[in-house]
Amino acid sequence: MAQLQAGMTEQEAFDLVKEHNKDPFHLEHATTVCGVMKYFAAEFDPENQEFWGVVGMLHDLDWEEHADEPEKHTLYAAPLIEAAGGTPELIRAVQSHCSDFNPQLPKPELFMEKVLFATEELTGLIGAAVIMRPSKSVMDFEVKSLKKKFKDKRFAAGVNRDVITKGADLLGWSLEELFSRTIAAMQSIAPDRGSFQAQN
């Protein structure tokens, strides 16, 4: 696959996220999606692992400051990313996960963009489900538990199940495969949770 240039490092991306997000939940979501993206990149596109991670880190850059304008999500992020040195391909990848809400934004075309589209909401559902468990850990979380939470529309009602289903379709995966792979991705980064916070 072609080498993708982000124009910034993962650490620089996290510093940018911290400039525009103060809620610990949003910072954790950014680092979680970053880690999940890098996990998938290691399997499918290892040469571009940092690019995948930077995309995951920045995908919700403007959400906290502009949550009242969901239809403009990522539009505010674009000039911020560009000013920080981000490339057009980085901005495009970030914006592709919002194309369902704004048809003017690019649709996911690269495999990496499809993975972001499919997993971003799903990591939130998994995180919400894990908090409810006695262990409070993703390490003993199973697909069957996730299936139950996915079907219960009242649980984590803000999570868009349609986006997750469409994401699985875009990847050509069953929902079960998407669930299994994303749980494994989150398990792979769980021991390192907070590593960015610890550095800063």
What DSSP character marks residue 107? Answer: P
Percent of the chain's residues with pLDDT above 90: 88
Q: Which pLDDT score is estimated for 100?
A: 86
Consecutive H or E run containing 90: helix 88-95
| Residue 196 confidence (pLDDT) above 60 | no
| Residue 149 confidence (pLDDT) above 90 | yes
Q: Which pLDDT score is estimated for 1?
A: 61
What's the rounded mean pLDDT across residues 140-168?
96
Query: pLDDT by residue (tens digit) across 46-56?
Result: 999 999 999 99
What's the rounded mean pLDDT across residues 17-44?
97
d(Cα 13, Cα 10) in Å, to the nearest integer?
5
Residue 63 tokens read as 């959400």
Query: pLDDT by residue (tens digit) across 95-131?
Result: 999 988 898 999 999 999 999 999 999 999 999 999 9
Tell me the residue ranges of DSSP E strands in 23-64: none
By the 8 A CB rule, do 178 and 167 touch?
yes
What's the rounded mean pLDDT across residues 35-43?
98
Length of the chain (residues): 200
Residue 197: which pLDDT band, with cuts at 50, 70 and 90?
very low
What's the rounded mean pLDDT across residues 5-17?
98
Q: What type of residue sits at position 46?
A: P
By the 8 A CB rule, do 81 and 94 touch?
yes
| Residue 195 confidence (pLDDT) above 60 | no
Percent of the chain's residues with pLDDT above 70: 95
